[in-house]
Amino acid sequence: QVQLQQSGPGLVQPSQSLSLTCAISGDSVSGDTITWNWIRQSPSRGLEWLGKTFYRSKWNYDYALSVKSRINIKADTSKNQFSLQLSSVTPEDTAVYYCVRDRHRELQGGGFDLWGQGTMVTVSS
């Protein structure tokens, strides 16, 4: 059974960096039809896609324009996991953060079909 297990702190101080990790079991972070995403959810912003990484002969990354200057997503093939780093956080970054698998939209139908359990991250001093 494929699972995503998130880890990382639930409290981050303003201006610091938020770091979360998503461990994958039952699938490969290097899968050639899959992308690995970070999505957050807050009452004010709803469900907001932040970025993704995927392997197609080389590692690729795409980020939402809203966070592009602050975000970094990395894949670690040795641990079969991927991570999120969001720098210079403010209280507006307070949200539940999810790691999410996205299927190939032409071959497999697309859609975010597998989600981590979610991590509530609060930005506060």
Partner 1 sequence: DIVVTQSPDSLAVSLGERATINCKSSQSVLSSSNNKNYLAWYQQKPGQPPKLLIYWASARDSGVPDRFSGSGSGTDFTLTISSLQAEDVAVYYCQQYRSTPQGTFGQGTKVDIK
Name the site residues for partner 1 (rule: CB under 8 A). 46-49, 52, 62-64, 98, 100, 103, 105-106, 109-113, 115-118
Q: How far is the CB of 120 from partner 1 (least distance, A)?
A: 10
Output 49 or 87, the one with its CB closest to partner 1: 49
Output 16 or 59, the one with its CB closest to partner 1: 59
Supply 52's token pair.
């993704």
Output 16 or 103, the one with its CB closest to partner 1: 103
Supply 9's token pair.
């702190």
Output 32 or 113, the one with its CB closest to partner 1: 113
Instruction: Please classify residue 8 by burial: count the beta carbons closer than 10 Å to its beta carbon, then call 0-12 exposed, 13-18 middle and 19+ buried.
Output: middle
Q: How far is the CB of 104 from partner 1 (least distance, A)?
A: 11
Q: List the one residue out of 70, 13, 14 whose CA is nearest residue 38.
A: 70
Q: How far is the CB of 40 from partner 1 (least distance, A)?
A: 11
Q: How far is the CB of 101 from partner 1 (least distance, A)?
A: 10
C-alpha 13/C-alpha 35 separation (Å) is 30
C-alpha 79/C-alpha 37 separation (Å) is 17
C-alpha 96/C-alpha 114 separation (Å) is 16
